[in-house]
Amino acid sequence: MQRKIAVVLSGCGYLDGSEITEAVSSLIALDQCEAIYTCFSIDKSVVEVDHITAKDTANHRQCLTEAARIARGQVLPLSKLVEDNFDGVLFPGGFGAAKNLSNFAMKGGVGEADSEVKRVLTNFHQASKPIAAFCIAPATVALVLGKYEIEITIGNDKETIAEIEKTGAHHVECAVDDFVTDRENKIITSPAYMYDTTPAKVFSGIQKAVREFVEMA
């Protein structure tokens, strides 16, 4: 039976939205597993980052509109994501996952997730449906589900690990082309571009994680 997966994007671009390689890798891996996916994003305005200078600009971008660039126009507001309609939910990385889907980038382990993100993560967790998150996105998952002592990875960045563990989550160091599975809580994570690495290695880790994720769904 084909699994139905919700993919939550946070915009477009690694400094102010979803990391494009990670997002596309996730979609390709889901397709390889013959899963049917639907893309969602939060519908809010965020500060634009110049991807050459890495500095904020005077402009703003709409997360939903930007996510449509990756999803080829096929994206829905996160408010329309109903857990009953899907077998699992997946969050690619990019700083948007920690800036737009939550305020982890600003407040670390004492931050909060966007209310819609919190609703989605809580509902999938309560329904015992798998959750996948890559790169920095597991930090946002930890803000919501850390109280359940979940096991996740963001690679080996010590400062980020310390903030994640403030949520109650347990961090497991992991190579870029591997993944970590918390079987009790059905959470699968892979570090991706938390390392200074190559697209092939990012894809390898995400591909392996997605296979595990779809099998668990």
Active site residues: 135
Could you tell me which residues come within 8 angstroms of residue 148 by beta carbon, excluding any fewer than 6 positions away? 125, 168, 185
Nearest to 19 by CA among 111, 97, 132, 121: 97
Could you tell me which residues come within 8 angstroms of residue 214 by beta carbon, excluding any fewer than 6 positions away? 3, 5, 30, 33, 35, 88
Alpha helices by DSSP H, listed for the chain, are 20-32, 63-70, 96-99, 104-107, 115-126, 137-145, 158-165, 199-216
User: How close are the terminal C-alpha atoms of the chain, in Å?
Assistant: 11
